[in-house]
Each structure stands twice: as structure tokens, then as C-alpha cells.
Structure 1
Amino acid sequence: MDGNTFSRRTFLYSAACLGMLGTQSRIVRAELQLGSSARISTVSDGYLSLPPEMVFGSMPKEELEQLLNRNRVDATKYEPECNVALYRDGKNTVLFDVGAGPDFMPTSGKLLETVETIGLSPEDVSHVVFTHAHPDHIWGILDDFDDLLFPNATHHFGRKEWDYWWNPSTVDSIGEDRAAFAVGAKRRMAEIEDQVAFFDDGQEILPDIAARASFGHTPGHMAFEIRSGSESVMIVGDALGNPHVAFERPDWHSGTDQDPQTAAATRSLLLDQISREQMKIIGFHLPNGGIGRVEKTGSAYKFIGEPT
């Protein structure tokens, strides 16, 4: 890291600390111990503010209204948290996704503030593992000066997801409303091209961390199983994107999924495994830090958040 990068990073850190005064309770959202040496925390990248119809538009209106009322959800707004999972085992410091960075949405892109306020330097991150390449998950690899935020990290990408966003035809086929996603993803992927390690479904990408195909939200979306002895947790990214509809009616199609039919099948498979094996779950957009467990009730499921 050269002197110019250091001084720019120092400036960003100082500004971040000033911005985070009085907000420490929101920095680390939740934490769990896995085995004797590994810790998983979720740190906040802020939240998104989206039109509810973007998610719910294709769902049956009356049933949806009843479900949201039952869960005391305000249907006039949609503001999901953005929870970045941080895994530390004494040797590796791993981030699962990197948030939105400064160029996506003013309510998100807070990851630099959170990691440095808890005493973690971006240079300390040894690995970044991506679930997928939507803006709120990958655009944060660049800081305000377009420098790599985690310069010493190996960046792990599912081969299918990389190939999709790297393909020059994607920007023309993804749809006008998402064309900027494709342009933004490829620009950032070009910056990490020399620091990428590819993986496939079922592969152990790091000790105790294995990739699990969870296609649908994007063509190559990945979840990750982390196991230590009899304990396990599933990092689901956006495969389970909210704590109510996605769990009670995983078969309903969400407008945020690029392949809604495949995404619905993925949700059902993940929920069945997580509940059956009594795994913990970490969801990027699930509430109160995103860590919890899943209970099956008849043909539906329920997200039970961990106390924070």
C-alpha cells in the first residue's frame, strides 16, 4: 500500500469515526460462537430503501396483505437491513460480501465505518467471499477513491456467477432496469481479476467453509455451510431475502429474483435442510443482525432471530 492510499484511507477512517459516534450499538448486529475457536459476527452496511412493489408486485394481493398484517409489516415501505458476515478463526479473517460502497444508495455503504470502528483494519481481511454480484453485495470492494478496500484479501467467486457478470452480453440481456447492475459489477470485477479464486458447488473454499449452490436470485448465487464438529451455520445471502414471505410462502415469486421459479425452488430446499439439521442461519437482509434459526410449522417455516 503506497503513501497516497494510506493517507486517503486515514482520511476515510477519521470521517467514519466521527460519523459513528453514538451509534456503537448498531455496529455489530449479532454474534455467535462456532466450535472452540471460530466466531461469526454480522456488521452493518446500513439498509436499503426499495419500493415494496419491487418485491411483492407479482404476489397474490389478498393473501399477501393477510400475511404482512399477521407479521406486523408496514406494507408502505421496504427497508431491509444489510448484514455482512464476518468470520474469524484465529488464522483467517473472512468477509462474506462487502456491501454497497459509496455509489449505490445513501442508506447503505457503511461497511468501512463499521469494520474500522470495531478495530478491524481493511488490511487485516484475508479473504472476501461473494454470494453474488448485485450492487449491495459487491460494489463495496472499492472505496470513495476507487481503491480496493481490502487490498490484501483473496476474493472468492463462484465460477458460474463470475462467468455470468463477466459476459459482455449480460448488460444487453439482463433488462433495462438492471443494466447498471451489470456495468457496475463488471467494473469492480475487473479490479479484482488478479486476486480472484474461483470455486464450484460443494467445494470447500476454506477450512470448514463449503460452497452450496443456491441459484435463482442470480444465475450463480451461492450459500455457504460453515461447520465445526456438530455445530453448523448456513450463510444464505439473498436466497432468503426477508423474514416473513420468504419463510411462510417460499413458493411465491419475488420481483428481486432474476429467475423467480428457480429461486423459489432454492428457498424450499434451503429451508428444509436448515430446519431439519437445526442449523443456524445468517441472512444478508434478515432483521436484527440476520442471525437466527428456522422452525418448520406444517408446510411453512418461521425465522427465529437470535437475541442481540
Structure 2
Amino acid sequence: MKVATFTTANGFRQWGVIDDETQTILGAADLEEAYFSFLPETLDELIREGDEGILQLASTLQKHRETPMAEPYRLSEVTLEAPLTMNKNVICVGKNYDEHIAEFDREKAAVPEHPIFFSKLPTSVIGPGKTIRLHEDTTSQVDYEGELAIIIGKRASHIPADEVYDHIFGYTIVNDVTARDLQKRHSQWLLGKSLDTFCPMGPAILIGDKQPKTFEIHTYVNDELRQAGSTADLIFDIPTLVSTLSRSITLEPGDVVATGTPAGVGMGFTPPRFLADDDKVSITISDIGTLENPVGR
């Protein structure tokens, strides 16, 4: 099942359930009104409700299948937004694919012994279709990084690796946009990663699968394939990442963890191929969809 936050043509914002086959989305507010079911107002609230919220959603969808009384919206007629209302940093992982490490340091290519964590500020988050700003007064080296992101579903600390999937609500896509010159200049990565608009997220959240899953990641710039990777090649897999984080940080429902990017970023080319005005970045991850954003001043 895929859920997303969207805005209708008349400006009403809600979340809903996507049907890929018909390219439509059923609004939660419309389902609630049609079937007198209590559904949360936002996806953030749905996550906090845990299994109870998912069961209520499933029950309402079953009623709709039996007696369709809510009219879905065509995806082409609504605007998809960032799925979550971000109140906390996005937790990110650096150097988590061998080939990505090699494209930055071809001589040494040292694989880290432990996961490298950093964060992006919530003010950097934007939704599908929103413009990635070049910030030309601040940086001249804006780069893209297509990534699978996981969304935590349960508050917990010290999660054993074999219990991690029980604590995951779902999966989405993040573009870890980076100002390479700021990243290098300031040593710590926060500033170069957190400029406004530097964290496109969406277009949807894939939920309902508590088992280990492999995702294929493809990043295009202006329809040219730049990145082709698989989460099967992660150096530190999802259980390792979440378990390691939870030993130091209490993870909460709605926390977003981006798992790292495969090879093919702009900095890895000779000469580098950074983003420019009027570029378009599209990231497709199997089963989730495509996150597409224009680039501009």
C-alpha cells in the first residue's frame, strides 16, 4: 500500500491511498466522511497511532471495496506534497556503497568500520515538483544523491537488529542534495547538506511490508541515467543502521533515516557535473515511485 500527502485543485490538503493501476488517490478525509470512520488528519498522526491506525485504515478501505462511496482523485489533477510535516532532522548515512566511496577517493577507497551519520535540517525538506534552489550566492557546486529513506513507526531505543523491521512504518525517497564546496570547506556536513530546498522527499510512502526488501534506485538528470544501484549493496544494511542509531538515540515515530547513495553523483565525474539552472532530477525507486524536482535560481 502507498500513502501520500496531497493538495487538491481548490487548495484542500489531506493524505490518501494511491492506486497505481488507476493512477488515482483516495483521500482520507473523503473516506472518513463516506464511512463514518475516524482517520487521522495527517500521515504524521497515522504513524503515531501505530498498528491501531493501520487496522482502522484497512477496515475503511475494505468498506470502500465492498460499497464504493468515496470518489478518488486523479493523480494528474492533484499536487503531491512532502509526505510528512517535518519537525525533526532527517538522519542520513554517508559512504554506504562501495562504488560511491571509490568515486570520491579512487586511490584509498577506505570502507568505514562503522556507519557515518549526519543530519539535514527539517527546513530543507520540500515535496515533489518543488524547485531545488541553486543558492548561487552561497555555493557553486550543487549535487544530487538519490536515496532510499526509511520511516520509523515505533518509539524505541536499543533495538536488536533482528527486531528492526518491526519498528519500520514504511519507505520513501529522499534526494540528499549537497553543496560540495560547503561540505568540504566546513568539514562537518550539516551546513552543506541543509540549505533550504536541499531535501526533496516523496512522492509517497510504501507501507505494510515488515519483511526485508531490496529496492532498486535510479537517478536521472535531464533524462540521463546517472545512478543505478540496489540496497542489496549497502555496506551497512537497514537493521545495522537502525540498531546502531537506537543504541545512542531514542527513535520516535516519524523519524526519517536516509540510507546512503550509490555511485554516479555529479562530483564523481571528471570533470564534475553539478546541477545547473533548468535541470531536472528524477529519482525512481522500485515500488515507491518517482521523485522529480526542477532546479532553478
TM-score when normalising by structure 1: 0.24
Which structure has more relative contact order (CA 8 Å, sep 6+)? It is 2
Richer in strand (by share)? 2
TM-score when normalising by structure 2: 0.25
Richer in helix (by share)? 1
